[in-house]
Amino acid sequence: MTMDARSAGASRPNRTPDLLPSALRIFDLSLGQMLWSRRSVLLGVLLGGPVLLALALRVISALYTSGFRINGAMAGGASIFGLMIWLLYIRFIIPVLGVFYGTALIADEVEDKTITYLFTRPVPRSAVLLGKYLAYLVCTSLLILPSVVLVYFLIVPIGGGSIGAAFPSLLKDLGMVVIGLAAYGAVFALVGTRMKRPLVAGLVFAFGWEPGVLLFPGYLKRATVAYYLQALVTHEMPQDSAVSLLLQVFREVPGVLTSLASLAIIVGAAVWLAGKTVEQREYVLDQ
């Protein structure tokens, strides 16, 4: 055992490290951990669900029928795909991913007692949160985007739909999925840093508050992420039934630019507040 490490400290900087380079280093450290975690394996299995459903619909349409009726109207492949994007991905899978990853960004490190190693390095604590948030975004995108693309290729040809013609809308859908992941992830990262039972609070927000207030007219729905995301949905839904017409009356959709700006503000504010919370908070680990 020698003192060779002395040279390592010779060129040591001595000023407060910058946020972004520090966050990128945390991102490097966290991405692999996140991708190969048990959580990713489980949610990867969950993301196989829509693919299996799409496969089943494709087989049924090939063997028994040339199309499907939704609310009494004939729906082509593009409409079914749009419906799956909205109901399965935007309203269910993305909030689930957001809740399970977002609330755990810091909580996992605290629970595993590895947070000490990150908080005793020359990086701002908010960079730890930001780096892990970026890792979440990449990790969940890598999990969900292949699933969306597979569903697209299986569903759109149903009823004679053209894969090529609908391709631009697929790109928009993929963009919307990433924006959804960013928004829900940021909101739940904030929940995770501020609340004692973030998972419960996150689930209540995603599956209680959001669907609840969206059903009623008024301003309350603006306190949801889904309200802004629905403006980004590019697909026309079948609207022939009485229920869908009634929902259409209440459906108040903001403009695309308003939605994008609002979602950007939600992401920025939530990540900033989460970072500030991590900076201030003490994490007491059980020995």
Binding site for another protein (CB under 8 A): 1-10, 12-17, 21-22, 25-26, 28-29, 33, 36, 112-114, 116-125, 279, 282-285, 287
Minimum distance, C-beta of residue 104 to another protein, in the bound complex (Å): 15
Q: SS3 for 152? A: helix
Considering beta carbons, is residue 6 or 196 the nearer one to another protein? 6
Minimum distance, C-beta of residue 127 to another protein, in the bound complex (Å): 8
Residues 50 and 89 sit within 8 Å (Cβ to Cβ) = yes
Minimum distance, C-beta of residue 138 to another protein, in the bound complex (Å): 17
Considering beta carbons, is residue 95 or 275 the nearer one to another protein? 275
- CA distances from residue 110 to 116, 137, 194, 261, 278 in whole angstroms, order as listed: 8, 20, 14, 33, 12
Considering beta carbons, is residue 117 or 167 the nearer one to another protein? 117
Backbone angles phi and psi of 73, in degrees to 5: -105, 145
- Give the Cα-Cα-Cα angle 232, 235, 237 (nearest 5 degrees): 120
Among 29, 82, 74, residue whose Cα is nearest residue 54: 82
Minimum distance, C-beta of residue 140 to another protein, in the bound complex (Å): 19
Considering beta carbons, is residue 21 or 146 the nearer one to another protein? 21
Considering beta carbons, is residue 14 or 45 the nearer one to another protein? 14
Minimum distance, C-beta of residue 161 to another protein, in the bound complex (Å): 43
Considering beta carbons, is residue 54 or 274 the nearer one to another protein? 274
Residues 113 and 111: their CA atoms lie apart, in Å, by 5
- CA distances from residue 280 to 23, 55, 125, 126, 193 in whole angstroms, order as listed: 17, 49, 9, 10, 10
Considering beta carbons, is residue 26 or 154 the nearer one to another protein? 26
**CA 18 from centre of chain:** 27
Considering beta carbons, is residue 207 or 283 the nearer one to another protein? 283
Amino acid found at 86: W
Minimum distance, C-beta of residue 245 to another protein, in the bound complex (Å): 53
DSSP state of 150: H
Among 111, 134, 114, 281, residue whose Cα is nearest residue 194: 281
Amino acid found at 171: L
Minimum distance, C-beta of residue 285 to another protein, in the bound complex (Å): 6
Burial bucket for residue 25 (CB in 10 Å: 0-12, 13-18, 19+): middle
Minimum distance, C-beta of residue 16 to another protein, in the bound complex (Å): 5
